[in-house]
Copies of this chain bind each other. A is one copy, B any other.
């Protein structure tokens, strides 16, 4: 880029750096103390250390990557994944360090499924011999794997998958077969172009006897299968496999399809830790208690929530910094014609979109952390198959996954719109963040569907509480009994007097809605499907109650070691989260007798007051999440506030489109000036 007159231009005053300096100097939020409080397991040290590695490697420069085509994005993703794997060898990174490098790279890795589901499945479902054979190959990335369960026609309903694994006793092989188009494996990450092996989940068909052609259908089972040649990386004969084409996000990931044409695999391909087919007698032994996976699912769900909070923190970091720097209009009630324009974040209509999300990031944090802690402390019991307290939390975790990923996914778009025009630009740092995260409400259990699991559990416990026999089975049943016997008819709670009253109000509403659903289902015998909308409401109410409770508990944890000053800020955030949530469902809180009509009327004013209290501290509160600029990749959200300089740099100096001069005259087929119709032909060839 040649120097030009724009090189010397500065933004109008006050500049972004001046504004953010002022914002930071006016607040007493102890940023480092809060960061320590949020990240206790060496997260920050790890982030700093691995950031240093990635920042100096040009392969990880993000600013121009949205200009690449999809095929280029996959290639870049593969190159980055390989490089991270080499760094892992070089620096001897452990799993946490590898995860951190992925998180900072921010491209979903074509090796992601290899490193997670593929290896985990072999470890958990392979027998000793299989583990011994496969794990060294997997750890060396010679066998590069994927996990092929979901099909074109079936996702949520795993029992409905159509791919077959028929045991052939003559050859002692399984025959993998895709009888229909809908039986094609579909969506499976890393399968499209990267993997040379797959875990294939197929309907196990075993002959009723050694020499009949009648089969027992034994449901979905997992097989480990080589799918591509280890030298040429071409698919093996009898297999059709490829990438499913573009998606909303996940550009660097090769989500795949795969079909089998009577493809034979050895008997040893069936993962046999829990269930197996005797190759000589065709006898099938049943799987052990599937509850074994029960505990680790809770850990996975806790991780999803902890991830969701970082996504929200990232969106809010960008939104808060930019809406401070951005100024538009003088105060309409001001009489001074020379009054400065207001920061956009000074408008309540901007605050109401951003600040409750800031509070929500904290709410998610405390519940994710509580789930992780509970999982750790009860780990020994879990390993023995005793789930105790965890059983309740597990039942609740479906609802929490649903609510928390919904909140996080929506937060990105809400923040984007609150940022006005520049929110729509690539300098927002929201494009890839949004496109990738929008998968979360669907994957790992569709958010609307899985609320049934939580509601179903709650209704069962309420039914037991109504029956009132013996000792309550768990804390939820106990709470239901307490509600039935005591709370149901009590007066509304004075929620502005004491935070504990807020917690109680959320409990009371959740119990009330659970009871209503119980009556419909168990007493009025309504059909399950006719209740689905109501059940989702029950689940969300319970999840909100959990979020509020854990947030409140954290503030009253005497071992947290946080200063009174910080505690006061967190309490304001707690109240904002709780009251904002309450206001969104005010009518239910009233119907439940949890909050008085008069108090509910007052909520909007209270919320606005709380936002006004948080406003001067917003910048330091987002700073405390310590999201590095490298990860934000945002002109609008830069730590230093140089918003306009960065936007201009991206446009004027880093835009490949500006390297070409075009022919805009419509009678000509020439697109790029001086190149005749060459470029048109090239593009047409790609259509």
A442 within 8 A of B: yes
Query: Judging by beta carbons under 8 Å apart, are A12 and B182 in contact?
Result: yes
Q: Contact string, A140-173, partner B, CB cutoff 8 A, digits 1/0?
A: 0110100000101111110010100000000000
A40 within 8 A of B: no
- A261 interface residue, CB < 8 Å from B? yes
Q: Is A658 an interface residue (CB 8 A)?
A: yes
Q: Is the CB of A657 within 8 A of B70?
A: yes
Chain A 406-431 against B: per-residue CB contact (8 Å), 1 yes, 0 no?
Answer: 00000001001110110111110011
Q: Does A650 contact B (CB under 8 A)?
A: yes
Which residues of A in the span 176-221 have a Cβ within 8 Å of any Cβ on B? 178, 180-184, 186-187, 192-196
Chain B residues, Cβ within 8 Å of A648: 152, 181, 184, 257
Determine whether A505 belongs to the interface, using a CB cutoff of 8 Å to chain B: no
Name the residue of chain B whose CB is nearest to the CB of A152: B644
Point out the residues of chain B lying under 8 angstroms from A652, CB to CB: 240, 242, 257
Across-interface contacts of A284 in B (CB, < 8 A): none
A113 at the interface (CB under 8 A from B): no
Asked whether B72 lies within 8 Å of A683 as measured between CB atoms, the reply is: yes
Q: When each residue 67-86 of chain A gets 1 if its CB lies under 8 Å from chain B and 0 otherwise, what string results?
A: 11111101110110110011
Whether B533 contacts A349 by the Cβ 8 Å rule is yes
Closest Cβ of chain B to A252, distance in Å, is 11
A427 CB contacts on chain B under 8 angstroms: 245
CA distance A654 to B248 in the complex (A): 17
Query: Is the beta-carbon distance between B426 and A247 smaller than 8 angstroms?
Result: yes
A288 proximal to B (CB < 8 A): no
Specify the chain B residue showing the minimal Cβ separation from A421. B155
Tell me, in angstroms, the Cα distance from A110 to B353 when the chains sit together. 33
Q: How far is the CA of A261 from the CA of B9 in the complex (A)?
A: 10
- A10 contacts partner chain B, Cβ-Cβ < 8 Å: yes
Of residues 368 through 421 on chain A, the ones whose CB sits less than 8 Å from some CB of chain B are 413, 416-418, 420-421
Set B82, B240, B662: member contacting A78, Cβ < 8 A = B662
Q: How many copies of this chain does the complex contain? A: 2
Given A79-B683, A187-B421, A664-B110: A658 touches B243 (CB 8 Å cut-off): yes
Q: Give chain A interface residues in 255-275, CB to chain B under 8 Å.
A: 257, 259, 261
What sequence of 0s and 1s flags, for each residue 659-676 of chain A, a beta carbon within 8 Å of any chain B beta carbon?
011111111110111000
- Closest chain-B Cβ to A611's Cβ sits at a distance in Å of 10
How many whole Å from A603's CB to the nearest CB in chain B? 10
Q: Measured between alpha carbons, how far is A234 from B608 in the docked complex, in Å?
A: 52
- Does B664 lie within 8 Å of A144, measured CB to CB? yes
CA distance A85 to B669 in the complex (A): 12
Residues of the B chain whose Cβ atoms lie less than 8 Å from the Cβ of A184: 6, 9, 648
How far apart sit A686 and B387, CA to CA, in the bound complex (Å)?
Answer: 53
Tell me whether A431 and B660 are in contact in the complex, defined as CB-CB below 8 angstroms, given that A348-B529, A527-B333 are known contacts.
no
A466 within 8 A of B: no
5 contacting pairs across A/B (C-beta < 8 A): A187-B421, A196-B664, A243-B651, A348-B529, A350-B448
Going nearest first, the 5 A-B pairs with the smallest beta carbon separation are A246-B426, A69-B69, A85-B666, A242-B658, A82-B666
- 13 other A-B residue contacts (CB within 8 Å) besides A58-B684, A64-B686: A6-B181, A67-B246, A74-B657, A76-B683, A79-B669, A82-B667, A154-B328, A156-B329, A242-B652, A248-B430, A331-B529, A348-B529, A417-B442
